[in-house]
Amino acid sequence: MRTILKPLHLAMLATVAAATTLPACAKDTTPVRGYTVVHRYPHDPKAFTEGLFYDDGYLYEATGEYDGAGVRKVRLETGEIVQQRDVPTGYFGEGIIFAGPYLLQLTWQQGVGFLYDRSTFELKGTLHYPGEGWALTRDAKHLYMSDGTPVIRVLDPDTFQPTSTITVTDHGEPVQQVNELEWVKGVIYANVWQTSRIARIDPKTGHVIDWIDLAPLVAQQHVGNDPDAVLNGIAYDEQHDRLFVTGKRWANLYEIKIKP
């Protein structure tokens, strides 16, 4: 997401501000976990990261904004872009995920999803959805889609039609600005836009199990005064149990371990 390009409805500002900073009760009672950095990898400092996932030795990344939005396949160890495709002109690129033979990418406000061939990135078709599109992840049976609200849509991976929803709450308070998603060991990890925290969400109830506080990592980034260079991007290597995080216009991607 981008602060300048995504003005919020004025009536929601107070609610969003409260949710973004977390309610006082949540700060007092919801567990907050730290992390350790295991390894640091190069990351394109020009990439306005919207979506990220790991598959078969490569990172797949979606970049946003209207100028330069696209999808790319990236070599983890070097940050080398080995394959990429631009989003059609006039679309603000958002999250991505593999869905059957396709690489599915959302767009922000246009309500259009692009279906690319997952091997060649050739555009094969489009799909349409109401509201905004922010991020995607999946488990073995479903796709999960965020739209900036507390509601995560659960989609059928074959038809892309919604089957149910998950409302994300922290001790009864709706969590606004739910952004980039990742499925990790039966739990949904979610960046909360414009914060330095990742929510770990129980997909059965929508309740925030705990928060991962990445404030020290965010503080290390040399992004000048760019208000949009925020934490955003979570990927998980299931085979080797590796968790990766990065941010918009960050020069590095990090493998981290979450502290008990």
Tell me the three state secondary structure of residue 137: strand
The mean pLDDT value for 148-174 works out to: 96
d(CA 133, CA 135): 6
Mean pLDDT over 124-148 rounds to 96
Query: Across all residues in the chain, what is the average pLDDT?
Result: 89
Identify the band that residue 28 occupies on the pLDDT scale cut at 50, 70 and 90. low
User: With 50 as the cut, is the pLDDT of residue 59 above it?
Assistant: yes
DSSP-derived secondary structure for 153-204: EEE-TTT--EEEEEE-EETTEE---EEEEEEETTEEEEEETTSSEEEEE-TT
Beta-bridge mates of residue 143: 138, 155
Q: How many CB atoms lie within 10 A of CB 9?
A: 8
Query: CA 152 to CA 18: how far, in whole Å?
Result: 20
The per-residue pLDDT for range 204-255, each reduced to its tens digit, is 999 999 999 999 999 999 888 888 899 999 999 999 999 999 999 999 999 9
Residues 165-178 pLDDT 10s:
999 999 999 999 99
CA 194 to CA 197: how far, in whole Å? 9
Closest among 37, 72, 44, 38 to 58, alpha carbons compared = 72
Q: What angle do CA 66, 67, 68 make, to 5 degrees?
A: 115
Contact call for residues 116 and 124 (beta carbons, < 8 A):
yes
Quote the tokens at residue 47.
Answer: 């990439």
